[in-house]
Amino acid sequence: MRRLTLTVALLAAICAAGRAQNGGIDAATFQKIRESYKPSASDRALRNALAGHDINKLAASADNEARFNADFSHRVKTKGITNQESSGRCWLFTGLNVLRAQAIDQHNLDGLMLSHNYCFFYDQLEKSNLFLQGIIDTRTRPLDDRTVEWLLQHPISDGGTYTGVADLVSKYGLVPQQAMPETKASNSTSRLSSLIALKLREFALELRSMPANAKSVALENRKVEMLSTVYRMLALSLGEPVQRFTWTRKNSKGEAVSTKEYTPKEFYQELFGNNLVDNYIMLMNDPSRDYNKVYEIDYDRHTYDGHNWLYINLPIDDIKQMAIASIKANRAMYFSCDVGKYYNRDKGTLDLENFDYASLMGTTFGMDKRQRVQTHASGSSHAMTLIAVDLDASDKPLTWMVENSWGASAGYQGNLIMTDEWFNEYMFRLVVERQFVPARILDLLKQKPIKLPAWDPMFAGEE
């Protein structure tokens, strides 16, 4: 009997210890937390204000209003603001805006709007092929294999990066907007993308169920049939990509200069002609990883036969010098950042002083950029076109401006203005022409890239 009593007591002690160490909030812990909060009169006033108002409205710094400045010492010549509507195609709009500014300047055009719908059609078809071929390549692995899991979780999206622009335009060319206008499905992509993703997952299970010894030709033939289904879905929603079109070039006075018939690749070669793959260098400021190293992200591409995202990780001051040189030469750049941080929608400004969250909430927010990246608190989320910088007498940047793709009424006349301090903290990616990259930095490309996995959280597609 005594032995049974001791056993029961021991079990009770173990259970009690387990309850004490399980990390939950028990009644005693909650009581301590609750008693620690002793609201002051100002706390009660804040509680009343927060009950009916947006946090950003209450945290907005009135003292910061005077810092707004829309004057820039150097600005790239651009014409017109684009609008990606309810889609995640910022990467595509940004890439084409870089090319558009160049063509307007070089050919003295009155303006130029390119068809994002044309490129998006091929983007979705190519991403479907990337997924299906990835499934074929990994079909003998178990479903819980990390790469297989990632593929099934991300069969397709409308987000992307500069590499998508480079590979798609190099392969398929470009057309003016009037040759293949936007549709409801291209302006609001979520429904179409979700349907294609559902079909691709179904196809994936079929490919994985085919005999292990199935010949590659049989797999390829079935994949082509699957892609034909995707093509039909895209054609019904976006229209078929135009093969030939007629376009009238007009000079800056609006006078017709020429009218010609083009193929998409002929149009691209005549108006642009850039080698988008080899003539542009991708840069990153990620203080959580070693600087002066080259990194490559597996599966971070838009076409199976294209290029993974490959970049040089550099200190922010190195990137700024290349950006300034590019702007001075009237060259816009692909730029991406964590746009939601300290963004004043009413003014179109990005400034660390826009909102005083610390005073409002009675605490501090002390992580630096490296720590925010490491804890997933910050990362590149949106691409825009870097077009202006304001330099002081010592050639030090004070403010920057990007052309956005949220329409002319968003931000400051369709643009966003950021302080140099904000640029330091929330800028992540920049793509510059090779001519603006110092030889010492180009030499870094001789390194064997450090390959990062597709699921690295820093490298989700920009939307």
Report how far residue 315's alpha carbon sits from residue 25's, in angstroms, rounded to the nearest whole number. Answer: 43
Report how far residue 95's alpha carbon sits from residue 119's, in angstroms, rounded to the nearest whole number. Answer: 11
Catalytic residues: 90, 382, 404
Instruction: At 175, give phi and psi (nearest 5°).
Output: -140, 155
SS3 state of residue 174: coil
Q: 92 near 119, Cβ under 8 Å?
A: yes
Q: Which DSSP string do the residues of 157-183 spell out, in sequence order?
A: -S-B-HHHHHHHHHHH---BGGGS---
Report how far residue 332's alpha carbon sits from residue 285's, in angstroms, rounded to the nearest whole number. Answer: 19
Q: What dihedral angle (degrees, nearest 10) is formed by the CA atoms of 218, 224, 228, 231?
A: 160
Q: What dihedral angle (degrees, nearest 10) is formed by the CA atoms of 81, 82, 86, 92?
A: -130
Locus of tokens 């173990």: 14
Neighbours of 27 (CB within 10 A): 6
Instruction: At 402, give phi and psi (nearest 5°).
Output: -120, 145
Locus of tokens 């009155």: 110
Report how far residue 102's alpha carbon sits from residue 302's, in angstroms, rounded to the nearest whole number. Answer: 24
Q: Characterize the bridge pairing of strands 382-391 and 333-337.
A: antiparallel
Instruction: At 193, give phi and psi (nearest 5°).
Output: -65, -35
User: Would you state the structure tokens that stand for residue 433, as one six-digit string?
Assistant: 């022409």
